[in-house]
Structure 1
Amino acid sequence: MLEYGHDWRLVLASFAIALMAGFTGLSLTRGVSRLSVTQRKVAVSMAAVALGGGIWSMHFVAMLGLQLPIFYFYDALTTLVSALAAILMTGLALLILHFRPRTSRSVTLAGVIMGLGIAVMHYIGMSGMELCRPVYTPLGVGGALLAAVVLPVLAVRVAYSERGRRNILLGTVGFGVAVVIVHFIAMAGTGFLPEAGAVVAGPVLGNGTLGIVVTLAAFLISAAFLLTGITFGPSAEEVLASLPAREAVSAPVPLAEVVARPVVEPVVATARRAETLRVPHEKEGRTLFLDPMAISAVRAEGHYTLLLRGTERLFCPWSISEAEERLTPAGFIRVHRSFLVNPLRVVKFERLKDGGQCSVEGAEDRIPVSRARLAELREVMGL
């Protein structure tokens, strides 16, 4: 077996890449559950590229820092396949987190898939070494797989228990540490043998130069995604405070009341998106149309729905699924299989053993909040 070491400058660079990728991916997916399906797919795709690409970049930069007593390099096709494997498995994990009910089981499953993506990417990438052959030990492979299952699950649980800034930062650190630990546990259980009689032309760029290029590329990609889709930025109160008075009062809810109940997405932007939407309801044999911002909640009623506006109950021909699809871009969120609520009209929230309940303006009804929807509502209400 060949003796080997590491260039710790590239090791530190790889850890920085893992942190940057984790922060980018977790920030891009913050609050996407309130977006339309198309917008959510775009955000999740960007986050998958940032997270999966960051996993691969961390591994590749760390491997470029590997110091062996012989010349070696990496096969381009195998390296590309390892990157695609990381992005696809990370994307699958994010799809589960953002397109399925977020339960303890689904969060754990997403963490396991993401962790296995780290391990699969590592070993595919290692198989692309040229002029040098990696040799694995059962203990090293088993330890890497165990770490790949446990650590990413913990990081995902932290990041998705509450989708606030603190949890995003803690999840970022957990993600970065998980990727680095999995990599170096796998490396500790790996030996290297020279390929006998191999005569292959090496790459134009040396490993050190490639490490710098990949590091810069990873940071530039993350920075571009953060600038185009970041949701970690100013709160609703800060946005409202920066607007002229005539714009701030364009929302149907009084400004003081909005500030007292912060939401992640700026309220004025939500109101403007709703300006072109009118919700039909039937009254005295006529079909009338209502501004969505005047609606406090929507309740399923068989194949139709009831609109809650103050003390009124108005019949709407939409099903609860159609109402969710149309009203989600206006800021409404699904809190139960039978209820949508307008966060701007929520006046009270209570946490219960198996979920929660909330009250909306003018209605005596207590609207149930299912356990799967609890985290989303708390995030939107700034809790």
Structure 2
Amino acid sequence: MQGTVDGFSYGLVTPVVAYLMACLGGALGLRCTTRSLLVANSWRMGWLALGSAAIGSGIWTMHFIAMMGFSVEGVPIRYDPLTTFASLGVAILMVGIGVLIVGYKGATGASLFTGGTITGLGVASMHYLGMAGMRLHGTISYSTVTVVASVVIAMAAATAALWAAVQVRGIGWSIGASLVMGLAVSGMHYMAMAGVSVHPHADTAGSPGGDSAAGILGPMLIGPLGFLLLAGVVVMFDPMLVTGRPDWRDARAAQDRIGTPAPAVTRLRRPLRGPAQRTPQDW
């Protein structure tokens, strides 16, 4: 017997909020990636680490907000806390590897392909590990076609988002890249969920082990959302992140790495003075 699966128990509320969370994490993370290309080596790792954590937190939060709308008729669903939070670590780790590759190698074809592939696989791994943490009286099965399609969507969109982020052309590019990243995570999630089938067991007495979706949502929001708020504060207090205009010294240091010319620097000329007023520095 196959249970009736509903992925939109609360209508459009959960997919819209989930998409916005993925975009928020993507916007902060990709903007930090852009910023890392414009600073000296001593600061680059810090910006890339902050960006990786922001993207990972955003996609993890997106997944479980979307799962709040997932239900199976007559079958209670619980979540194993350890597996659920392990998926957060996997997301940050694999996204971090992909972002570091692009951050240190620049916008080359090989680095974008490698970084985008690893980032996309990180999104997919987080999703299926999170699904593995579900506890219910039934058997979950997946369609091979939708699994493959979901992974391809994640890799392709993540690559496109990283490409847009490293163009270093102002905040507009980062906003566009975050929308693409949000689409990557959301599209991958709902494509994967479209192929989910649940076969309830004959004996469904009692409640499966683990925490309910509502019970696990509280700590999920306190941690990752608090971090996203902190990352947003860091981003907003750095004018270069908003304007996209780097300091000329950092930009020259990054020129060879990202393959774009450093901004021209024009020395301000001193006001003309009379001969008696001129100093040796004016000559």
Task: Classify the TM-score, shorter chain.
Answer: 0.7 to 0.9
**What number of residue pairs does the alignment pair up?**
258
Matching of residues 112-127 of structure 1 within 5 Å: 112-127=117-132
Greater than 6 Å deviation, 4+ residue runs: none
TM-score normalized with structure 1 length: 0.60
Give the counterpart of 1:104 among 106, 109, 129: 109
CA contact (8 A) 2:28 2:235 kept: no
- In structure 1, the partner of 2:246 is 264
- In structure 1, the partner of 2:269 is none
Q: Larger Cα Rg: Structure 1 or Structure 2?
A: 1
State the one-letter code of the partner of 2:255: V
Compared CA separation, residues 232 and 194, structure 1 to 2 (3 A) = farther
Give the counterpart of 1:335 among 220, 237, 255: 255
CA offsets 1:342-376 (integer angstroms, 9 cap, x no match):
xxxxxxxxxxxxxxxxxxxxxxxxxxxxxx53237
Give the counterpart of 1:59 among 57, 63, 66: 63
- In structure 1, the partner of 2:144 is 138
Secondary structure in structure 2 of the residue aligned to 1:168: helix
Say whether 1:226 aligns with 2:208: no
Cα distance, 1:78 vs structure 2: 1.2
Give the counterpart of 1:373 among 247, 258, 264: 258
Cα distance, 1:82 vs structure 2: 1.3
TM-score normalized with structure 2 length: 0.80
Secondary structure in structure 1 of the residue aligned to 2:255: strand
Compared CA separation, residues 235 and 173, structure 1 to 2 (3 A) = closer
- In structure 1, the partner of 2:190 is 184
Measure, in 1, the Cα distance between the counterparts of 2:68 and 2:208: 18
Which runs of no fewer than 5 residues in structure 2 stay unpaired? 266-283
Compared CA separation, residues 334 and 64, structure 1 to 2 (3 A) = closer
RMSD, matched Cα: 2.9
Give the counterpart of 1:93 among 98, 110, 124: 98
Measure, in 1, the Cα distance between the counterparts of 2:162 and 2:139: 34
Secondary structure in structure 1 of the residue aligned to 2:164: helix
- In structure 1, the partner of 2:276 is none
Cα distance, 1:196 vs structure 2: 5.3
Matching of residues 191-270 of structure 1 within 5 Å: 191-195=197-201, 197=203, 199-200=206-207, 206-208=212-214, 210-211=216-217, 214-215=220-221, 217-230=223-236, 233=239, 263-265=245-247
Secondary structure in structure 2 of the residue aligned to 1:29: helix
Cα distance, 1:108 vs structure 2: 2.1
CA contact (8 A) 1:85 1:121 kept: yes
- In structure 1, the partner of 2:19 is 15
State the one-letter code of the partner of 2:192: A
Cα distance, 1:235 vs structure 2: 8.2
Secondary structure in structure 2 of the residue aligned to 1:377: coil
Measure, in 2, the Cα distance between the counterparts of 1:217 and 1:57: 10
Measure, in 2, the Cα distance between the counterparts of 1:112 and 1:24: 20
CA contact (8 A) 2:141 2:197 kept: yes
CA contact (8 A) 1:31 1:231 kept: no
CA contact (8 A) 1:27 1:232 kept: no
Compared CA separation, residues 231 and 177, structure 1 to 2 (3 A) = farther
Measure, in 2, the Cα distance between the counterparts of 1:376 and 1:213: 46
Q: Percent identity?
A: 25
> Larger relative CO (CA 8 A, sep 6+): 1 or 2?
2
Say whether 1:2 aligns with 2:6: no
Measure, in 1, the Cα distance between the counterparts of 2:64 and 2:180: 20
